[in-house]
Amino acid sequence: MISAAMQQIWEVFIVLFFATFTKSAYTRSCGRPSAPLPDDSASYCLSWRLGVEANNVRAWRTVPTQCLRHIENYMTGGQYERDLNFIMEHIESYIDTIQLSEDGLDAWILDVDDTCISNVFYYRGKRFGCDPFDPDGFRKWALRGGCPAIPAVQRLFNNLVGSGFKVFLVTGRDEETLGQATLDNLHNQGFIGYEKLIMRSAAYRGQSAVAYKSEIRKQLEGGGSGGDIGAGGYRIWGNVGDQWSDLQGNCTGNRTFKLPNPMYFVP
């Protein structure tokens, strides 16, 4: 009886031993533990994400379905936050080189959605962008005013305001329908002390983000008739957004910074 039990235990032991040994041998010969050979899908999704972030892939409507797990893992597994923190460090280094004048015209532009405040919770329910954009669903989400601050950008915001920059929050959100909810959301997340929240008024409805945001920046720099910004004359030192359409067009600012966003594309 004892011998039979011992035989069984021995067999299990041998199986486990060889399983462990085989895995170690594989790891040694086929790749480093910290840099495994990606499978085809992971490799494709890395290419896709790089293509999006380097502005080679444009006007895309949905995340490729095969990349759902990759994007989910990127957005919620820590690398997205690490990428944001890394960019913030570079922005802070740049800020340290800027000598502010005393005329109060040193400006900085931040986008709102997925720059100041996060829609990751919403996009979790949209398969991280694998589902097509749902305007009604997003409006309902935004009206709740519950987007959490992105901590790295909030620190940057506080630094900018504390340093004396005039911070303009420029968003493509519709002013009429989302104005109050957006003001409330920014306030409840601690974005306090900015110069102005500029939202898309009726005059800009239907315009591309590049055209609308270029016009706003032009008014910030030059002022002029019909502007929402007053006399203008601002120097735009920095411009931060998660979309290339935040950062392209005219009067883009002295430095632009592209935050990662592999979940959706705004033209």
Of the candidate spans 75-83, 109-117, 193-201, 226-234, the one that interacts with a copy of itself by CB under 8 A turns out to be: 75-83
Of the candidate spans 36-44, 103-111, 207-215, 218-226, the one that interacts with a copy of itself by CB under 8 A turns out to be: 36-44
- Torsion angle, alpha carbons of 207, 211, 217, 220, to 10: -60
Q: How far apart are CA 208 and CA 204, in angstroms?
A: 9
Least distance between a copy of itself and beta carbon 51 (Å): 6
Sheet holding 106-110, edge to edge: 196-200, 166-174, 106-110, 235-241, 255-258
Is residue 37 a contact point for a copy of itself (CB under 8 A)?
Answer: yes
Is residue 25 a contact point for a copy of itself (CB under 8 A)?
Answer: no
CA dihedral over 242, 245, 251, 255, signed as positive or negative? positive
Q: Taking CB under 8 A as the criterion, which residues in 99-138 touch a copy of itself?
A: none
Pick from 18, 86, 121, 133 the residue near a copy of itself by CB under 8 A.
86
Least distance between a copy of itself and beta carbon 98 (Å): 15
Pick from 1, 4, 29, 34 the residue near a copy of itself by CB under 8 A.
34
Pick from 191, 257, 264, 265 the residue near a copy of itself by CB under 8 A.
257
Q: Three-state SS for 255? A: strand
Is residue 18 a contact point for a copy of itself (CB under 8 A)?
Answer: no
Least distance between a copy of itself and beta carbon 82 (Å): 5
Pick from 24, 79, 101, 250 the residue near a copy of itself by CB under 8 A.
79
Helix intervals (H) in 97-227: 120-124, 135-143, 151-163, 175-188, 209-222
Q: Among residues 120, 117, 114, 175, which one has the least CA distance to residue 145?
A: 117
| Closer of 82 and 205 to a copy of itself (Cβ) | 82
Is residue 228 a contact point for a copy of itself (CB under 8 A)?
Answer: no
Tokens of 201: 């008024």
Name 117's bridge partners. 113, 149
List, in order, residues 6 or more apart from 267 with CB less than 8 Å away.
58, 59, 208, 209, 210, 245
What DSSP state is assigned to residue 189? Answer: T
Binding site for a copy of itself (CB under 8 A): 2-3, 5-6, 9-10, 12-13, 16-17, 20, 31-39, 41-44, 46-48, 50-51, 53-57, 69-70, 73, 77-79, 82-83, 85-87, 90, 256-258, 260
